[in-house]
Amino acid sequence: MNLSRNLLPLAALAMMTGFGFAQTPVQMSPDTKPAVTSPAPAAPAKKATKTSSERTAKSKACSAQADQKGLHGKARKRFRDDCKRS
């Protein structure tokens, strides 16, 4: 009991001060040069995208075709997806 009463505050103090977790700084000699990292790779080129009005017009046209065919539910969704891709 006496031992735990003495060790608990010491353990708390060690945790607060970071005792045992400190890192020793690396000593570099004057002849050593720091490592040079290569530049990040260039981002891939973006694909040409349609404007929102072009997408909306295509979507509306596909919906109108689906209405003419009387499609509903999953069949309508599948038809519209195929129509918008082409």
Is 90 exceeded by the pLDDT of residue 80? yes
pLDDT recorded at residue 66: 95
Residue 14 lies in a domain: no
Cβ atoms < 10 Å from Cβ of 62: 19
pTM: 0.41
Residue 74 lies in a domain: yes
Residue 79 lies in a domain: yes
Please indicate whether residue 1 or residue 52 has the higher confidence score (pLDDT): 52
Nearest to 82 by CA among 51, 56, 59: 59
The tens digit of pLDDT for each residue in 6-62 reads 777 777 777 766 655 556 666 666 666 666 666 767 767 776 677 778 778 899 999
12: its two tokens: 């708390």
pLDDT recorded at residue 72: 94
Structural domain for 57, as ranges: 52-86
pLDDT recorded at residue 54: 79
The number of folded domains in the chain is 1
Residue 24 lies in a domain: no
